[in-house]
Amino acid sequence: MAASQLPTVIEVENLDNRFGSHVVHKDLDLNLFKGEILGVVGGSGTGKSVLLRSIVGLHKPSDGRIRVFGKDLNELSAVERSDTEQRFGVLFQRGALFTSLNLLQNIALPLIEHCDLSRADAEELARMKLALTGLPADSALKYPSELSGGMVKRAALARALAMDPEIMFLDEPTAGLDPIGAAAFDKLIVTLRDALGLTVFLVTHDLDTLYTTCDRVAVLSQKKVLVADRIEKVAATDDAWIQEYCQGPRGRAASYAFRAHETSRLRE
């Protein structure tokens, strides 16, 4: 089924984001459909993270409308907005784990604060979330400073999954990972989407992620979404930045690797 035939879970209409005289977004439109993984890309300064923060409520847009699950966030009461935002899971670019807490405590904290669970019940669920992301059981008592970059990403993902969200927001999830670690994380995102029925909004610059993980790719350029479509359609768009990005050496390598993988998979 085409993405546009699926229910819409997020609608962004005529979004403006200004910081003083600096305009980041102007009349930006974008939809996120249920069950898809949408990759958001763009050059430096195009406001990828600003868009993510606008949708999850960490930044108030200058103008425009954002509907989530059919509700305009600006029209919700504080309680209604909080209830809606609890249906989100967010993985921030650098993990944003509490360094003074071990992983078990990091993941249990939102369950204790928002779900009125006992510490014992919250920690039992936290161990399950850690297991979902592929972390070993003994990592639960480790602190963020004791982990590799890949383990921090997985721990942050486990915390984002803590409250069984319907939509996951991932900000540069593979940044700083080696190619093997990044590929494993990409595969994990798809596995979790399929197993848990998640919808994923993914900010990235990683071309391999776009080819292997994303159902659609939205390109931010000229203060708006220039194109949002399958990566093959995006790569064929007549735009200088897109051509340099998708048809340069890294883009060609990612495309070749993806086609080779698909050919091998079809032969099996």
Q: In whole numbers, what is the pLDDT of the chain averaged over residues?
A: 88
Q: If you search the block for the tokens 């003994």, which residue do you land on?
A: 138
Percent share of the chain, pLDDT over 70: 90
Query: What CATH number is given for 7-87+168-267 in this structure?
Result: 3.40.50.300
pLDDT mean over 149-155:
88
pLDDT tens-digit series, residues 167-189: 999 999 988 888 888 999 999 99
Contact predicate 51/204, CB 8 Å = no
Q: What is the pLDDT of residue 268?
A: 56
Grade residue 102 by pLDDT with cuts at 50, 70 and 90. Answer: very high
Q: What is the Cα–Cα distance from 15 to 61, expressed in whole angstroms?
A: 7
Q: What is the pLDDT of residue 176?
A: 83
pLDDT tens-digit series, residues 204-228: 988 999 999 999 999 999 999 999 9
118-127 contacts: CB < 8 A, separation 24 or more?
Answer: 125/162, 126/158, 126/162
Q: What is the Cα–Cα distance from 131 to 121, expressed in whole angstroms?
A: 16
Q: Measured in whole angstroms, how far is the alpha carbon of residue 165 from the centre of its chain?
A: 12
What pTM, to 2 d.p., does this model score? 0.88
- Does 252 have pLDDT greater than 90? no
pLDDT tens-digit series, residues 62-91: 999 999 999 888 888 888 888 888 899 999
Percent share of the chain, pLDDT over 90: 57
Which residues neighbour 200 within 8 Å (Cβ) at sequence distance 6 or greater? 36, 37, 38, 167, 168, 169, 170, 189, 193
Residue type, 195: A
Contact predicate 192/198, CB 8 Å = yes
Give 171's strand partners.
203
Grade residue 55 by pLDDT with cuts at 50, 70 and 90. Answer: very high
